[in-house]
Amino acid sequence: MNVDVDINVDIDVDIDVDVDIDVYFDVDIDVDIDVDVDIDVDIYVDVDIDVDINVDIDVDIDVDIDMDIDVDI
């Protein structure tokens, strides 16, 4: 009796995570006092969030079973 069993398992898991956060604050305050008061306030907020998630899972399973059974009575 011959029994041959071959099992090949290949698992590839790739996870890439990119997170970019940019925050910009610009504040300009101009104050002039004569008899009048002038207040200029400029607020600039820039938020960029980039999230890239790539998941690649490859599973290959190869199972080969060969049986040769001879019975002579």
The model's pLDDT over 15-31, given as tens digits with 9 standing for 90+, comes to: 788 888 888 888 888 87
The model's pLDDT over 3-16, given as tens digits with 9 standing for 90+, comes to: 777 777 777 878 78
For residue 56, the number of C-alpha atoms closer than 13 Å in the C-beta half-sphere is 6
The model's pLDDT over 47-68, given as tens digits with 9 standing for 90+, comes to: 888 888 888 888 888 877 777 7
For residue 55, the number of C-alpha atoms closer than 13 Å in the C-beta half-sphere is 2
Cβ pair 26, 8 in contact under 8 A: no
Mean pLDDT score of the chain: 80
User: What is the residue type of 45?
Assistant: V
d(CA 2, CA 68): 6
**Residue 45 confidence (pLDDT) above 80:** yes
**Residue 71 confidence (pLDDT) above 80:** no
